[in-house]
Structure 1
Amino acid sequence: MTAITGRDRLVLAVLLTASFTLAVDFSILNVALPAIGADVGLGLGDLQWIATSFALCAAGFTLLFGRFADLFGRRRLFLAGIALLGVASLVGGLADVPWLLLAARVAQGLATAAVTPAALSLLTTSFPEGPVRDRALGLNGALMAAGFTTGAILGGVLTDLLSWRWAFFINVVVAAAVLAVAPVVLAEGRRPDRARLDVPGAVTVTLALLSVVYGLTQAGERGWTSPHATGSLGLGALLLVGFWLIERRAAAPLVPVRVLRRRGVGWGNLAGLLAFATETSVVFLLTIYLQEVLGFAPLAAGLSFAVLGAGTVVGGILGPRVIAALGNRTTLVTGFLVQAAATVPLVFLGEHRTWLVPLLVATFVGGVANLVVIVGFMVTATSGLPDTEQGLATGLTTMSQQVGITMGIPIMSAVVTARMSAVSGNPAETVLNGVTTALAVNAAACVAIAILLAAFLPGRPAPVATIQPEGVAA
């Protein structure tokens, strides 16, 4: 394995810090929502918009900004996104009226949509395809996954000890530190020929993603039969079909059809979408179980997931080694099967707290397997593509990640609700029945995607020549 130099470590530190911070932002406000609503005057029924406004922009604009990174400069977009994150977080922390808080969350979502693919493409173009890049992607995946868990814990701690406003202010400090270092260590790497932006494709896919994510969030809030959910999802599907037709005819497409037809890109992103959907929904289901069945307080339930966080860190470290030993396809298939095997024992959870120990063991193993899959997905979906398309590739992976995170919870929530309505018993028994049924569906989804990947995913693509980045000066 090629050694990582001191400058490489600085590059990694900057990019991984940004990725970890953005991952924390996804969950840091969840515990604090009631306190935030009380302070800024946001009603209980409107609290979901604190999360929804962020998710809509983070997922809806990620593919567009990923292509911006290729066309206009990854370093430039990264720095602009970090600056926006800092300003938006300062505004959010100082907000005392609902519209200002929601505007800050929209801006944070846009910053996430810009920084995440830019950071990933800077990472993939800073390291040559192979073991070194795999190791960097493994660390990135580990810290991102750890960030989701850390956010849930940190949000509770900050709200209890200081104020929910510090969940915003902490980003201001991180953004300032990254902006102080990044211009010195990050090299620009934009394509030499400034292609025109595919405006019709950009508008269509952005509206499509916004519709899909809004539909998924409404399904979680109102149910899958809600006109808000079905209408938005149907519109999103139609727009995605329109986007495909536009890209087939565009002279300079936002997403070249030849890239979408690459099996590594297509199946790799499907694997990523399922990886994020299944594991985030497991956290959701176990949160219900710990609080509604076992009677844990919210903070105690959040702390229980520290074991899962530790497993994700281990999985991120092991992922590159597993890929080197088994190859991309076998790594993804094995990872999903191990994740399914770790989920199966959770199907037999009971109403006594003695089940906490097997739960922690299973979530640790599942966390390791899930991060091995996520690293395999990142490597598979970005391999075999030239540097000039890495922003596009990482935009696609980020989109898969965001949509997966958004869709997992409403789907499993629907399973829980349907099962609870079909059985009778005391409240704890009914909830337990719904949760364990959803966990069985979750495990089955892991097995199904493993079978599909074994059948259709090719091995690692041959490396392509990379374009040397320009100097570090802007």
Structure 2
Amino acid sequence: MPISERTPTADRMTPRQRMLLVLLLGSQFMLAIDFSILNIALPEIGRGLGFSLGNLQWISTAMMLPSAGLTLLFGRLADLAGRRRMLLAGMALLAAGSLIGGLAGSPAVLLAARVLQGLAAAMATPAALSLLTSALPEGPLRDRALGLNGTLLSAGFTVGAVFGGVLTSTLSWRWAFLVNVPVAAAILLLAPRIVPESRGRRTALDVPGASAVTAGLLALVFGVTLAGQQGWGSPAALGALGAAVVLLAAFWRIESRAAAPLAPVQVLRRPSVKWGNLGGLVTFAMESSVVFLLTLYLQKVGGFGPMATGLAFCGLGGTAFTGGLIAPRLIGRFGNRAVLGGGLLVQAAATGLLFLLGGHGDAAAVTLLVALTSAGALGHVSAIVGYLVTATSGLPAGEQGLATGLASMTQQVGTTLGIPVLSAVAAARTAATGSVLAGVHTALLLDAGVVLVGGLLVLLGLRARRTGRRQPAAAGPVIE
């Protein structure tokens, strides 16, 4: 019997499903790496291309803006135009942007390359995730796949930091771009042979809703980024944040009245969608901030170089892998609510205890840092898997693009918003006390408090309606 026709059992994938899983998770892992691979290389890029110190952050922001602002739109477009088609378009754009970035000779060209990478992430991330969820029925197989996906999302940020430090120290920051090109080319070659086309039921695109949510998210990310750079009293930042509030409120109103809404209000109001995505937003925003704050601590307080800083996070990556393996089993035993809320509480506790880091960056401090970041990573990945399972459960296959688009948007927005907010807190406290350590401590405590509140809200919000295993919806995707 051909491998494409073998029937999966309740707990075992067919060979074709395994190949599909490897390819889709590989694309997700590569995109996750791209969000952090340049962070440690920013000073080298600045010296090489002539970026001023104040403008270095735009190298990260140029990718984050389109990836956060356009993910929901492209997730819905994948439902309509075809998820495999959107994945391939994203991979082609990633290869082009990475090649341009690796050969860039000026700041403008490099920023344009990062924008292309952000667009690629917005296209490919929800498409790959919805292809994964639509290929596997709700249950242990999907939970296991989402566990691996959560592991790779978390580990990707860590691997990106380590890989970026190694490449920058041994070769050149340009290889942080160029390494994407052969991987994207391999996915473009293999995906048409392995991944079946999949789309939801054809409906008209909600152009007013798409315009409002895209502009609102772009304004939100831009406003928070400006506030982190210029202060929260900046007129430009306040104007962008005000516009974001107006546009996102308009989006909600449009969706409540549209005949074919981009994101139906009844879906957004589902407890699983609402509280699952809140948990995802909190865990991504605050864990990415922890990595940023500890990078600041290691380099400014401990005097570590780029490679040593990256290697200090290896424990985090190893524990993240373990967390991704055990989280699906925990969900099977205790349910989504317990794993999502409990993961956030573990993350909060580990982050709060980082307040114990001293001002010398010695061996004892590094040992404490590795131990606590490893424990925090276990909670973080458990929360990621819990939120992905929760936010995509109980929906028909035709709405998986929307559900995964929302989940991917949560990831992108969270990763984007956390660092500017907590970096501003750390900078303000550092300026007031003259101590980088005091700034890091204050920001870490705020980080832990936000995660603690988020975990409690998720546990309370999902208490009345536990998002455990449901029967799969009858409506299936169109497979071509």
Structure 2 length as normaliser, TM-score? 0.94
| CA displacement, residues 161-200 of structure 1 (integer Å, 9 cap, x when unaligned) | 22222111111100111111111111112124x2000001
Deviation of the 1:345 alpha carbon: 2.0
Which of 267, 273, 278 aligns to 2:275? It is: 267
Q: Which residue of 2 aligns with 1:329?
A: 337
Deviation of the 1:43 alpha carbon: 3.4
Deviation of the 1:83 alpha carbon: 1.0
In 2, distance between residues paired with 1:48 and 1:283?
Answer: 16
Q: Which residue of 2 aligns with 1:380?
A: 390
Alpha-carbon contact 1:201-1:253 (below 8 Å) kept: yes
| CA displacement, residues 16-35 of structure 1 (integer Å, 9 cap, x when unaligned) | 11001000110111222233
1:465 maps to 2:473:
yes
1:201 maps to 2:218:
no
Q: Which residue of 2 aligns with 1:303?
A: 311
| CA displacement, residues 46-73 of structure 1 (integer Å, 9 cap, x when unaligned) | 3222211111111110000000011111
| CA displacement, residues 274-313 of structure 1 (integer Å, 9 cap, x when unaligned) | 0001111111111122122222223211210111111111
Deviation of the 1:422 alpha carbon: 4.2
1:171 maps to 2:176:
no
In 1, distance between residues paired with 2:54 and 2:301?
Answer: 25
Compared CA separation, residues 228 and 377, structure 1 to 2 (3 A): same
Which of 101, 106, 125 aligns to 1:97? It is: 106
| CA displacement, residues 225-256 of structure 1 (integer Å, 9 cap, x when unaligned) | 22222211111111000111111111111110
In 1, distance between residues paired with 2:439 and 2:56?
Answer: 25
Letter in 1 for 2:378: V
Which of 34, 49, 66 aligns to 1:40? It is: 49
In 1, distance between residues paired with 2:395 and 2:479?
Answer: 22
| CA displacement, residues 203-235 of structure 1 (integer Å, 9 cap, x when unaligned) | 111100110011121122222222222211111
| CA displacement, residues 347-389 of structure 1 (integer Å, 9 cap, x when unaligned) | 1221231222122111101101100000000000000101101
Letter in 1 for 2:303: G
Which of 416, 435, 460 aligns to 2:426? It is: 416
Deviates more, 1:95-104 or 1:197-206: 95-104
Alpha-carbon contact 2:200-2:478 (below 8 Å) kept: no
Deviation of the 1:134 alpha carbon: 0.6
Q: CA RMSD in A?
A: 1.5
Secondary structure of the structure 2 residue equivalent to 1:124: helix
Secondary structure of the structure 2 residue equivalent to 1:61: helix
In 1, distance between residues paired with 2:354 and 2:52?
Answer: 35
Q: Which residue of 1 aligns with 2:5?
A: none
Deviant stretches of 4+, over 4 Å: 466-472
Q: Which residue of 2 aligns with 1:346?
A: 354
Within-5 A mapping of 1:274-289: 274-289=282-297
Which of 38, 56, 78 aligns to 2:87? It is: 78
Q: Which 5+ residue runs of structure 1 have no aligned equivalent?
A: none
In 2, distance between residues paired with 1:343 and 1:48?
Answer: 24
Alpha-carbon contact 2:396-2:474 (below 8 Å) kept: yes
Within-5 A mapping of 1:179-190: 179-190=188-199
| CA displacement, residues 369-412 of structure 1 (integer Å, 9 cap, x when unaligned) | 10000000000000010110111111111111111111111221
1:435 maps to 2:444:
no
In 2, distance between residues paired with 1:471 and 1:278?
Answer: 38
Letter in 2 for 1:223: G
Identity %: 56
In 1, distance between residues paired with 2:269 and 2:447?
Answer: 28
Alpha-carbon contact 2:255-2:263 (below 8 Å) kept: yes
In 2, distance between residues paired with 1:59 and 1:466?
Answer: 31
Within-5 A mapping of 1:74-153: 74-153=83-162
Secondary structure of the structure 1 residue equivalent to 2:200: coil
Q: Which residue of 2 aligns with 1:450?
A: 455
Structure 1 length as normaliser, TM-score? 0.95
Alpha-carbon contact 2:72-2:409 (below 8 Å) kept: yes
1:66 maps to 2:75:
yes
| CA displacement, residues 329-350 of structure 1 (integer Å, 9 cap, x when unaligned) | 1111211111122223211221
Compared CA separation, residues 104 and 417, structure 1 to 2 (3 A): closer
In 1, distance between residues paired with 2:391 and 2:424?
Answer: 30
| CA displacement, residues 118-158 of structure 1 (integer Å, 9 cap, x when unaligned) | 00000100100111101001101101111111111111211
In 2, distance between residues paired with 1:268 and 1:152?
Answer: 27
Alpha-carbon contact 2:37-2:176 (below 8 Å) kept: yes
